[in-house]
Structure 1
Amino acid sequence: MTRASIADGKPDGRSPATPPACECVAGWCVFLLLALYATGLTQRLTATWSGMHDWNGAFYSQLARNLLRYPFDVHHGMGVLAVGADAPPADERGLYAHHPPGMVWLTAAAFRIAGESEATARAVPIAASLASLWMLVALTARRWGWDRALCAGLVFAMMPMSVYFGRMVNHEAVCLCLMLAAVLAWQSAAPERPTRTRAFALTGWGAAIAAMIWIDWIGVLFAGLFCARVTLHHRRQGLTGGRLVYAWGVSIGAAAGMVCYLVYGGLDGNWEKLWSIFVSRRENDITPSDSVAWEHVLGNLSWPILALAVFGAAGHIAGRASRQTQLYNGPSHHSGRAVGGLGVIALTGLIWVVLFWRLFKIHNYWMFYLGPWVALSAAAALAGIRSFVFARAPMPARALFYTTVVIAGAAALNGTQRYFAKTFLPERTITAWRDVNQLTRPDERIVLQWDPIQFDRYGAFAFRTIVPPQLAYYLDRAFDVRTDASHAVALGAPANAMYVVPQQAVLANPESFKAVGSLPATPAGDLLLIRLGGRSVAPTASVDEP
């Protein structure tokens, strides 16, 4: 696709409103936007899974690692939650059937190509986020021109939500990328395009829809809304019945295949378990107050961007009502297909938040899919400010426009750094778990003084998990649990097993640990590593000395 086709939405030819010199400038601006966004996304690229919501990164990295090292008859191609180099028995592992397995597959593929690390895992959503920014700019340019497109891209690249959660190893960044890819591909398959172009674009659309459905449940919602909109407007857009059959067939087929795979591959063919998982996502047993949701909105967007988005959305509605679309809607360089597809993304994100309101109050990234709508609305406000004031006072208009951009950028940068500053676990704890891993063999079984195993129950379904997932990822050793030190000695002494004890537990109740008091112990962070057989192991260089 040439820059001209992006600007005017036509397969060939150049828009008179977009001369070659302007296209060249726009292309460089897009490159700078991508560089700006990449700078934010790659912050703390190699950091451990210690930050806010890095729970997800550790969790999916662990599932991906197990997918690569355990035999197929253990994981069935799904994420399996377990520790240790050897495949554990059935009662020491759990298949993750809450979500489709696509994200596990992508992370595992990245590990296979580039090696297992935090940076490799983060590279998957980062690549998807950069592609999302490019496609958002391209789609906006088709409908409203380059000025609006670049403003929308700038807002999207600055938002704390886009920067921080655009690098989070979870479904959001990848699914948003596939949504935008589906919209772009569908537009490229317009009836006026050449036959070969349409065929290629429709194949791409089907691949994006199927991949999205196999990555997260929101793909099913988006596909349904997209197909419903296409069905309602197919006559106006000149679409054939065969096109509708194809769209619905791909969506229903991918969804049916994914659901059957989850039920028969991970839930023993029990459909009631799948329903129990879904219902549990909407229960209101332990829920933060609604004020937390407002805090999440402000944290994700920042005050200036939120104000611009509200102003832009209000102006858009008012402009449509009065048919004065030039100010807020801008000149159209393409049919309504672009705005229609982006509208489906916005509606999908809105329904997702409303449907799982309780989860949004727990997970502030739940509104991630509203990012393009916020960026477009804020860009409309910036365009409105510039156009309205410029017609009356050009110099003040420029000053107001750039001042607004600077204020919004500063607030967004501050919000982003606040997100990066939040931590879930201290580095000292992660270092201690790594030390346990380095002081033991991959096939060795250790003994923990506390029990990290948790069973999440959803009606008929109980999922065995290890909390927090960072423990499973960094420690990665099969373990037994003995809270009583004397029982630990009886279990682990013959094999010279390592007994892992929190130092705080020993300080709080030293009498309980007399049975291991004479055994060699190695301090590691806030843990004590005790060889139950009495044969000491020299600490590695990474072990923290007292």
Structure 2
Amino acid sequence: MRGINLPFVGPNAGNMNMYSQIARNYIRFGYRAPINSPSPVLETKPLLYLHHPPLTSILISVFFRFFGENYSSARLSQIIPSLFSAILAGIIGSKLWGKTAGFFGTVVYTLLPSSSVFGRISGLESFTVFWILLSAVFLIDFRQTARNRSLAVASVCLIFGTWTDWPVAYFAGLAGLFFILEKRTRAGFLIWSSAAAAGLIFLVYTVIMAGSLSDLISAIISRSGGRLLTLPYWLVKWLVILAVRAGVYFGPVIMAVFFVFLLKYFSFKSDWKMKFTALIGGFAVINILLYPEGSFSHPYWIFYLGPFIALSTAYTLLRLYNSRQVLAVSLVLTLSLIWAGRVEGWKTREIEANLWRWKLASSSHSVLTPYESVAVNSEALIDGDILAYSFGHASTIVPDTASARNGFSHYLYSCRDCVSDSELVKNLSRYTYSVFTAGEGTVYVFDLASDPIPFIQASPPLSPVSPLPIQRPSLLKYYYSRFLMLTEAPQL
């Protein structure tokens, strides 16, 4: 797969670096705690990451043990669950509406750009969806056969899923309600209690490790409110960005077919199969509504809607196929394949276009001592997660050089147009430094260990780096940047 071993850079790289770093530390220090620190030595009070359950990083660590620690191993740990999810979508479609619907379910899920773009991110989403779909298969079997074994397996899947990420608990809540309304109260309460017990175990574990739930509560508040709610017309901007992401990551053709499903075929008054299909989309909607800031800032959250979109589209294609409209079905699948290829290529090029950030970090690393903590400027072009995971340097953002001198031997100052930067010009005359340029940016690694030379205000503000030539963006890039500017979204 193209780009499978590219460094974690560009949009969505933060999670990939962080979860891979936690996985590395599981191998280094054992599985007692999710440690998010680049240090090769176990610290007295290590930085723990307890916002989410730990199973994803544990899975990544297993892949590291078998295939070696590299970028492709981390991505592969999520690609494989994503491939299984495509198969599970087909099994669900087959159980609900027959083998033809199952075939369409797998094909459509595979053709969703979100499946390839976000299904390979070494984050939480792919593994979470896998557990939801696997539990759904056994819940459907229980609904059709009343076999307690199927219910038990589904409950185990929900336990493991809740230890992967919180959306599984939302699905369990809806699934339990579904069976209670179906007059199978014991089954509903077993589903609820399975997810609730798993969640409670993690919360108790968090209190034991961190001393309280305050950090987790702060994370919930920041993802629920945050910057989005302070923006003018935030509701409009939020809905617009979600709608555009749906069109991009599910494809306009598949979204058109999905709306046909909603308008023509879907009804809560239909049989239990339609209601159960709604569960598979309901948990994703709950996740989006509970955390507006999270769904606004993180485009990969829309990945959770993928199974519902795939199954709904599969049902609609089944109806078209049974009506002998084979040409329409073929056209939908062909156009969706073309769209998926275009989006996949765009997102891969987006990663490749940010490789210069990794190169700047690599160049800076060459003049630093191993595992040295460094200071970086507030507008840094080098992401802290890249410095930490790829090169072993914890970083702290500081407002100015005076703050950087408080506890750090090196200050990494990166910028694009460095000529007009007054603080940089001042530092150039006071400290020894190394300078590196890559792609769109330049980084100055200032040595703060020695005493600074007194700054003379009258000295000429010279910079050894010339500004990069201005390149006219393409029309598509221009409107893309304008769209982000109007919606104030960090990324599409």
State the TM-score, normalized to the length of structure 2: 0.77
Asked if structure 2 preserves the Cα contact closer than 8 Å seen for 1:447 and 1:479, the reply is yes
Asked if the contact 1:503–1:527 (Cα under 8 Å) also holds between the matched residues in 2, the reply is yes
Q: CA deviation at 1:245?
A: 5.5
Residues in 2 aligned to 1:47 and 1:434: alpha-carbon distance in whole angstroms: 14
Higher RCO structure, 1 or 2 (CA under 8 Å, sep 6+): 1
SS at match of 1:95: coil
Query: Could you tell me which residue of structure 2 aligns to residue 58 of structure 1?
Result: 17
Aligned twin of 2:431: 516
Distance 1:400 1:486 in 2: 66
Counterpart of 2:436 in structure 1: which amino acid? P
- CA deviation vs aligned residue, 1:482-529 (integer Å, no higher than 9, x gap): 88779979978xxxx665443769743434222334x6x363642244
In 1, the alpha carbon distance for the partners of 2:405 and 2:119 equals 47
- C-alpha deviation, 1:121, in angstroms: 0.9
CA separation in 2, counterparts of 1:312 and 1:352?
22
Pair 296,244 (structure 1): closer, same or farther in 2 beyond 3 Å: closer
**C-alpha separation in 2, matches of 1:316 and 1:403:** 21
Alpha-carbon distance between aligned partners in 2 of 1:351 and 1:486, rounded to the nearest angstrom = 46
User: SS in structure 1 opposite 2:3?
Assistant: coil
Letter in 1 for 2:318: A
Q: Is the 8 A contact 1:54 1:424 kept in 2?
A: no
Q: In the alignment, which residue of structure 2 is the partner of 1:229?
A: 178
Residues 1:138 and 1:432: Cα distance change in structure 2 (over 3 Å) = same
Matches within 5 A, 1:272-421: 272-283=214-225, 284-286=229-231, 287=234, 288-317=237-266, 341-388=276-323, 390=324, 397-421=325-349
Q: Secondary structure at the match of 2:209?
A: helix
Matches within 5 A, 1:379-528: 379-388=314-323, 390=324, 397-423=325-351, 426-443=354-371, 445=372, 447-448=374-375, 450=377, 468-478=384-394, 500-502=412-414, 507=419, 508=421, 509-517=424-432, 521=434, 523=436, 525=438, 526-528=442-444
Look at both structures and tell me which one has the larger radius of gyration over its CA atoms.
1
1:77 aligned to 2:30? no
Q: Secondary structure at the match of 1:502?
A: strand
Distance 1:220 1:479, change over 3 A: closer
1:219 CA drift (Å): 1.8
Figure out how many residues of one structure are paired with residues of the other and give that number: 436
Give the direction of change, closer, same or farther, for the CA distance of 1:214–1:409 in structure 2 (3 Å limit).
same
SS at 1:49's partner residue?
A: coil
- Are the aligned partners of 2:78 and 2:122 in contact in 1 as well (CA < 8 Å)? yes
Aligned to 2:48, the other structure's residue is in SS state strand
Are 2:388 and 2:395, in contact at CA under 8 Å, matched by a contact in 1? no
State the partner residue of 1:48.
7
Cα-to-partner distance string for 1:201-257 (whole Å, 9 max, x where unaligned): 44532331111111111122112221222222245xxx8x4x555434322211211
Q: Aligned equivalents of 1:212 and 1:178: distance in 2?
A: 5
Gaps of 5+ in 2: 451-492
1:427–1:193 CA distance, 2 compared to 1 (3 A): same
Deviations 1:99-121 (A, max 9, x none): 22222222222223322211111
Confirm whether residue 157 of structure 1 aligns to residue 157 of structure 2. Answer: no
1:168 alignment partner, SS class: coil
Q: Is the 8 A contact 1:60 1:170 kept in 2?
A: yes
Deviation for aligned residue 1:441? 4.8
Alignment partner of 2:230: what SS?
coil
2:11/2:351 contact within 8 Å kept: yes
The answer to whether the aligner puts 1:109 opposite 2:66 as a matched pair is no
Which residue of 1 is the match for residue 472 of structure 2?
none
**Higher mean Cα deviation, 221-230 or 340-349?**
340-349
Over the matched positions of the two proteins, sequence identity in percent amounts to: 19
SS in 2 for 1:375: helix
> Deviation at 1:402?
2.0
Q: Cα offset for 1:176?
A: 0.8
1:129-278 pair list within 5 angstroms: 129-189=82-142, 192=145, 198-199=148-149, 201-235=150-184, 241=186, 243=187, 246-266=190-210, 268-269=211-212, 271-278=213-220
Q: Quick check: 1:312–1:379 contact (8 Å CA) kept in 2? A: no
- Map Cα deviations across residues 431-471 of structure 1 (whole Å, 9 max, x no partner): 1212344555535x354453699xxxxxxxxxxxx954223
- Cα deviation for residue 68 of structure 1 reads 3.0
TM-score, length basis structure 1: 0.70
- CA change 1:448–1:244 in 2 (3 A) is closer
Q: Which one-letter code corresponds to 2:125 in the other structure?
A: E
2:81 to 118, 128, 141: 128
Partner residue, 1:326? none
How far the C-alpha of 1:157 sits from its partner, in A, is: 0.6
Backbone CA RMSD of aligned residues? 3.5
Residue of structure 1 equivalent to 2:454: none
